[in-house]
Every structure is written in C-alpha cells, then in structure tokens.
Amino acid sequence: MAKEPVKVKELAAGIRAKDFSEVVLGYSEPEALQEAGRCTQCKNPACISGCPVGIDIKKFIKQVTEKDYKAAYFTIREKNDFPSICGRVCPAEYQCRKACIFTKKNELFASEKAINIHFLERFVGDHGMNNSLETPVKKDGSLSKIKVAVVGSGPAGLCCAGELARQGVKVVIFEGLHKSGGVLRYGIPPFRLPRNILDFEIDYLKKLGVEIVPNFIIGKTKTLDELFSEGYAAIFLGLGAGVPGFMGIKGENLCNVYSANEFLTRVNLMSAYKFPEFHTPVNIGKGMIVIGGGNTAMDAARAALRLQNMNKLPANTSIVYRRTEIEMPARRLEIAHAKEEGVKFQFLIQPVEFIGDENGFVKKMKCLKCELGEPDSSGRRRPVPIKGSEFEMDCDVAVIAVGLEANQVLTSVTPQLKTDKYKDVIVDPETMETSIKGVFAGGDIVGGEGTVIEAMGMAKKASRAIIEYIKRRGNVQKN
C-alpha cells in the first residue's frame, strides 16, 4: 500500500489571515525526501503528459531521492525557467498530479494520494535559488549583434527574454507598468508568491544582460513599426489579458464597486496593504463581497479578509458564485485556504443590481438564486436563474472578478495584427508567429486567460522560432 502523502507545513489560519506573509511554508529536506520516496517511478509516467511543458517529473523526483538536488534543478529547468514560481502557483491538481498514477481515472481533481509534485518542484527550485545555481548560458556568437524587443514583462515576456538572452541575443523588455512581473506582481498576492522570488528571477535576467524599460506602452509611446526601424530584428508580444470583465448590471459604476484588477493592483502593486507607509489606499468595508469563482476571486477575497483584520474590522468577506464549488475554476488549495481563513462561500447566486445610498456608495446587492442546468461549452453545468427568487445582500464594498479580456492598446493601432473575436492575437501554433512577419506572441494574449506555465510554454516555443527566424533571414553576424 502507498505510504501516506507528506503534508506541507502552513502558517496557522488564525495567524496568516492577519497579514500578507507566505501561507505555504514548503518542504524541509527530510520531508521532500520522504515525499519523493513515495513515487513509484512508473514505467510509463503519466505525470509528464499532465505537465503543460512536459517536465521530466519522474527523473527529477528520482534525483531528489538521490539527494542530487542540483541535477534535479537542471532537469526541471530544461522545460521550466521559474520552478520556484510554478511550484507555488501551478494548478497541479488539474495538471501533473491529476495525471499521476495515484489519481483514479474518474476523479475530477488530483487525488490526495497523488505525489505532491508541485511541492517537490518548489523544494528543488528554492534549492537552486538559495545556492545560486544558474542554467548554463550557451551564447551563439553569431547572434551577438541582434536585438529583440519583448513587449510585456509577465511570465511570457520574462521567459522569452531569458531564453533569448541565454543564447546571446540582446533583449529589451518594454513594460507599461512601473514594475515588472505582470500578474505575478500586480495580481497574485505576496501571501501566495513572495516578492523576493519574483525579484530574484528578474535580477537574474538583468544579470544576463536583459534591459527592462518600465512605464513604456507599445502602441502609445512607440509603435511596432518604430521598433523595427530602430533595428529590432524581431518582436515578442506578451501583453496578457489585463482588461477586467464586468457583469453589465445596474449600479456597477457606484463608488466602492471595484474590478478585481483595480482592487488587487492597489493592494499588490501599489502596496495598499501597507497604507499609509505606501501612499495608495484601498477602501475596505464591513461587508465585502467578491463575485466570481476563479483564482482572481480567491486572491481578492483573501486579501479583503486580511485587510479587514488588519483594520480591526469584523472579518466579513463573502464569495458569491453563480454555480457550485465543484465548477469553480480556482485552484483547490486556494479554495481550501480561503475557507480556513474565514472567507464565506455563497453558491448558486447571480447578482442582478447594485443599490447605492444617497451619496452614490454601494450599500446592497440585489441577486437571484440559481439552479444548475445542462453543461455549457466549458463542460460545466450552466447556472439557471430562478424566476421570482430575488433577494438583497448587504454589501459596502464589492469586488468583481468575473474574467479578464485582452487589452487592445496595441492591437487597435496595429490593424495588420490579426485578432480573433475575443481580440486575442492570432498566431501560427507551430511558431507563435502573428500575421506580421517577425512579430511573435504568447501567453494570455493568445487564446485568453490561462496559467503561468502555459504562458511560459508558449514563450519558450516562440523563442525557438525567433532564433530560427533571425537565422533564416541571415541578418546574423558571420564569424
């Protein structure tokens, strides 16, 4: 019989819900060895096919059992540039762990018994970071005079930049915000991804020679044509999906109704959780409601609850979702953590209107109860509002987290850049090249909101195609 999984240590819910310290503390060496020892080293390791970038999971786990953490680190780095980040944020229960032999075929999410691949990845990634293990740089001299522009510094942009820089290409990243990292900086709170980890990865890229230009919006400050005329041989677009979706209901423009993007950007990027030490405030209420069921909703609700605690208000934050828990796209771990911390979950409820007070501040949310109907195109059962079931909920701050869309700042001024009906950039799936020669794209701007590892997988593919494109065009330096 399989040995019991090694539980990862976490800060106690009562302590962690009062600040933004990291919740999951990771495995110690003996714990990692014990967990790695549970892996049966399957002849046909299904876990690998469950990883969107095909990390050789079986091999790296074996190397952990042999205490060869350096080798394990390089095994992971062959496919994944940021193991410490992915070990913390990857939805492993839908990916590698779900494919692990210990998960039964009919289970919706990974079994509790599945190997904790993500915690092992984190252990190995942190070992690499703490011991300054660096992936060997294989500079190709013929590329030394080549410049490539990367637009956006989220996981896609950072990954593409690293891949190109390691081969000797001069990379300049243009980032619209004042700090780099994309969602890893402005969306995911530090209690899930401490900023020293992100900063470490970005500093490493800078050491490789990558230049990052902040506060620079491509499509406004400069166009793609201008970048080409400045001598960039190719351009990678990692623009993300940074525009918040709304429900289109009455009262959404009332004061204290936030988009999750604005709420999380204030809290994470602008450090509103340290106000007044940092100057950007965020409004906190006595009854906070977050609408949605994805990772963004969990992050917003857990941040809201912490802010209530830090401001000595009663911890009263609810998630309102129109389906049930099983259909929630959020990571199971985040749902469990949110519940432990005291976030309340209210299912099968659809908001239909926000009601304001005489000063234009939200005070109530009118809702309809729902029941589940037939599955929709996502395969999840559709929420069907029940006629005549209206009721009102008290709410003095609402945060809307119902999805993200493509930002059109660049595509709207670049008509040659073909987009689909969602305004996502269309690419050749083999090369990630867009409709403009020499312009490649990856991450959430291709195919909509995805995951960090998927964004990095696309960026890696694009980086290979960019090198081929540059060499094919022959504008490399002849040795």
- Per CB under 6 A, residues contacting ligand FAD are 89-91, 151-157, 174-177, 182-183, 187-188, 217-219, 238-240, 242, 264, 295-296, 299, 331, 407, 409-410, 443-444, 449-453, 455
Q: Which is nearer to ligand FAD, 129 or 239 (CB)?
A: 239
Q: Which is nearer to ligand SF4, 100 or 173 (CB)?
A: 100
CA-CA distances (angstroms) from residue 201 to 20, 30, 351? 21, 26, 41
Q: Which is nearer to ligand SF4, 117 or 305 (CB)?
A: 117
**Residue 355 binds which one of ligand FAD, ligand SF4, none, with CB within 5 to 8 A depending on kind?**
none
Q: Under a CB-based contact definition with an 8 Å cutoff, are residues 452 and 155 in contact?
A: yes
CB of 23 to ligand SF4, least distance (A): 24
Q: Enumerate residues 8-67 that contact ligand SF4 by CB under 6 A.
A: 39-42, 45-47, 57-58, 61
Smallest CA-to-CA distance from 418 within 388, 445, 382 is with 445
Q: Which is nearer to ligand SF4, 67 or 279 (CB)?
A: 67
Smallest CA-to-CA distance from 118 within 70, 51, 69, 20 is with 51
Q: Which is nearer to ligand SF4, 87 or 155 (CB)?
A: 87
Give the DSSP H/E element, type plus range, for residue 108: none
Strand blocks (E) in 361-401: 362-375, 381-385, 391-394, 397-400
Residue 188, interface with ligand SF4 (CB under 6 A)? no
Q: Which residues contact 219 (CB under 8 A, 6 or more apart)?
A: 409, 410, 411, 412, 413, 414
Q: Which residues contact 255 (CB under 8 A, 6 or more apart)?
A: 356, 359, 360, 361, 362
Q: Which is nearer to ligand FAD, 89 or 399 (CB)?
A: 89
CA distance between the termini of the chain? 60
Q: Which is nearer to ligand SF4, 100 or 470 (CB)?
A: 100
**Residue 42 binds which one of ligand FAD, ligand SF4, none, with CB within 5 to 8 A depending on kind?**
ligand SF4
CB of 245 to ligand FAD, least distance (A): 11
**Residue 295 binds which one of ligand FAD, ligand SF4, none, with CB within 5 to 8 A depending on kind?**
ligand FAD
CB of 412 to ligand FAD, least distance (A): 10
Q: Under a CB-based contact definition with an 8 Å cutoff, are residues 96 and 83 in contact?
A: no
Q: Residues for the chain: how many in total? A: 479
Q: What residues are paired with 369 via a beta bridge? A: 349
Using the structure block, give the residue that is written with the tokens 């060499």. 471
CB of 69 to ligand SF4, least distance (A): 17
**Residue 198 binds which one of ligand FAD, ligand SF4, none, with CB within 5 to 8 A depending on kind?**
none
Binding site for ligand SF4 (CB under 6 A): 39-42, 45-47, 57-58, 61, 100-101, 115, 117
